Amino acid sequence: MTDVISIFQNIPGIAIRAIVVGSLVSLCASLLGVTLVLKRYSMIGDGLSHVGFGALAIASVLQIGNASMAISLPIVMAAAFILMVLNEKRRMQGDAAIAVLSTGAIAIGTLLYRLSDGQYSQDVCNSLFGTSSINLLLESDMWIAIGVSVVVLTAFILFYTRIFSVTFDQTFAKATGVHVGVYSMMLAGLTAVTVVIGMKMIGAIMISGLIIFPALSAMRVTKRFKSVMITSAVLSLVCFAFGFFLSLVIGAQPGPAIIAVHVACFLICSLIGWLKTRKRARMSRSIIVEPECVDKMK
Amino acid sequence: MAILTFENVGLAYGGVSVAHDVSFRVNAGEFWGIIGENGSGKTTLMKALLGLIPCASGRIVMGEGLKPNEIGYLPQQSAIQKDFPASVEEVVLSGTIGYRGWKPFYGRRERAIADGNMEKLGLLPLKKDSFQELSGGQQQRVLLARALCATKKCLVLDEPTTGLDPVVTAEFYRMVREINKNGMTVIMVSHDVEEAVKCCSHILHLSCHPLFIGTTAEYKNSPVGRKYLQENAL
């Protein structure tokens, strides 16, 4: 315990930076996750993070590790738009397109890391499993995270009703004059940015968990869109706080610790959801078998 | 004046022509049944009417102040996500999106419209219930209420009773007839000829081109109508 306190005392600036970046990324990912999961786009986050890994490799070859976001952001954005267009046009099956992009990016990324003379294994490890030390988070990362979350939150507040409509029934939304394509692209773009920022802390392999877990957990316990959104955001923040604290206590990387807490949270929510369904099923059974029905049956 | 005029409409799907030379006029308050077999182009025609796809040739003219995004659309059951987490109220309210402008949230007017339509269809007791936990018939009623929120003039139904049991189907048609009697123009796409003949005032029988256009009474006595109704009865 004293270790933890000393961590905060010795490097308060860096710890605050990590908490700010982590919370904001968790918040954005959880909101985007609800629509992505419901639109059956869960794997897009996963595909994009692998593309991000490839992009980081390019940055490492070019030896601009500090400004890696300048490289990875446009690449991941482009990949997101390509995936969305492929999905809309149905030129290629969406899931196959994601697999092609993500495995391709991993292969090229790994080769590029091999070719660069940097610390190969350390770099690969950091980009796959998340930063081993929060010291690696730069102040610029924090400002970018703040900027992005302002954009994501504003978009969700301004377009909340339209996002609901597009997510629930795209055809109806289109027939009522909503520009469905614009919203799909907006979601893709925001997801790309969130993935790129989150990847540095959580790691390319696990960042999609940050998008998918809160939405899934929330849907286990609540059945209305607005409450799913709010629950997802709250769960994501709580899991981040627990996970980050856990990582400090056991001295592990924050990424795996945070995702492990999400897994535990999902299991708890599933249990609660299961108990709720059972209770309701029992109640509806008792409603159906009313005395007069039984009389009639006789 | 006609609320909808189809002028030599030709339709293509993926570059292949699926319907051609479709010309007919829908007057306000009529109940049209667009019938035909699978692949007859009826669903494509409906998509063109909703503005989801362009006409390959000809045009669809709207009259009586009907705007393209003010058609209430009830999609096929299979097109809806059954496990979507949303309350009945949230789904019905989403019908008001077309004429709400850029307000980020639903206002008093939208809520009043949604409440009115939920009341009309007996959904008010279910208002806060979860859409995914409703029965198929109830879900269909919720979607009908949503479609009514999107329009005051024209309703488009796409195979509305597929997957519903006979009792629920009958109840559904009763509600649609009631809505039609109150002045709503209804256009229903269906492969169920018998039901269409029972409740529609006019029939368009499509098989890539119109085989019959006219009133239901005329259809029943036409060679096409007699042939199809007989085949269905067998």
B84: nearest CB among A38, A177, A178: A38
Q: Work out the end-to-end distance of chain B between its first and last CA atoms, rounded to an integer number of angstroms.
A: 40
What's the token pair of residue A259? 């995702």
Tell me if chain B has a CB within 8 Å of the CB of A133: no
Chain A contact for B232 (CB, 8 A cutoff) = no
Whether the predicted pLDDT of B54 surpasses 80: yes
Nearest to A224 among B87, B95, B98 (CB): B87
**Rounded to whole angstroms, how far apart are CA atoms B185 and B72?**
10
Q: Which of B93, B106, B150 sits opposite A176 (nearest CB)?
A: B150
For A5-9, A162-166, A182-186, B60-64, which range has the lowest pLDDT when averaged over its residues? A5-9
- Vertex B225: Cα angle to B219 and B228 (nearest 5): 155
Count of CB atoms situated within 10 Å of the CB of A259: 22
Instruction: Tell me if A246 sits within 8 A of B156, measured CB to CB.
Output: no
Q: pLDDT by residue (tens digit) across B127-180?
A: 999 999 898 889 999 999 999 999 989 999 999 888 888 899 999 999 999 999
For A294, phi and psi rounded to 5 degrees? -65, -40
Token representation of residue A147:
């900027």
* Neighboring chain B residues of A225 at a CB cutoff of 8 Å: 84-87, 90
The answer to whether B71 faces chain A, any CB pair under 8 Å, is: yes
Least confident of A246-250, B50-54, B95-99: B95-99
Residues in chain A closer than 8 A to B106 (CB atoms)? 161
Q: Which residue of chain A comes nearest to B14, CA vs CA?
A: A89
| A24: closest CA of chain B, how far (Å) | 23
Q: Is the pLDDT at B182 greater than 60, yes or no? A: yes
A126 and chain B in contact, CB less than 8 A: no
Tell whether B32 lies on the interface with A, counting CB pairs under 8 A: no
Q: What is the pLDDT of residue A286?
A: 63
What is the three-class DSSP state of B201? coil
Q: Cα A177–B22–B195 angle (5° rounding)?
A: 80
Q: Among residues B122, B58, B62, B65, which one has the least CA distance to residue B92?
A: B122
Q: Which of A226, A201, A231 is nearest to A214 (CA)?
A: A231
**B29 in the Ramachandran plot: left (φ > 0), alpha (ψ -120 to 50) or beta?**
left
* pLDDT number for residue A60: 78
8 Å CB contact between B193 and B207: no
Least confident of A80-84, A115-119, A187-191: A115-119
The DSSP secondary structure of B107-146, one letter per residue, reads -HHHHHHHHHHHHHTT-GGGTTSBGGGS-HHHHHHHHHHH
pLDDT tens for residues A15-41?
A: 888 889 999 999 999 999 999 999 888
Going by pLDDT thresholds of 50, 70 and 90, the confidence category of residue A277 is confident
At residue A92, does pLDDT exceed 50? yes
A254 or A65, which is more confident? A254
Please give the average per-residue pLDDT across A133-154, as a whole number.
84
Q: Which residues of A touch B97 (CB under 8 A)?
A: 161-162, 165, 173, 176-178
Is any Cβ of chain A less than 8 angstroms from the Cβ of B93? yes
Instruction: Record the pTM.
Output: 0.86
- For chain A, first and last CA: distance in Å? 69
Chain A residues with CB under 8 Å of B69 CB are 175-177
pLDDT tens digits for range A102-111: 899 989 888 8
Residues above pLDDT 90, as percent of chain A: 38
Mean pLDDT of chain A: 84
For residue A128, the 8-state DSSP code is: H
Interface size between A and B, measured as CB pairs under 8 A: 87
CA atoms within 13 A on the CB side of B79: 16
Tell me which residues of chain A, numbers 54 to 93, contact chain B at a CB-CB cutoff of 8 Å: none
Q: Domains of chain A, with CATH numbers?
A: 17-297 (1.10.3470.10)
**Complex ipTM over 0.85:** yes
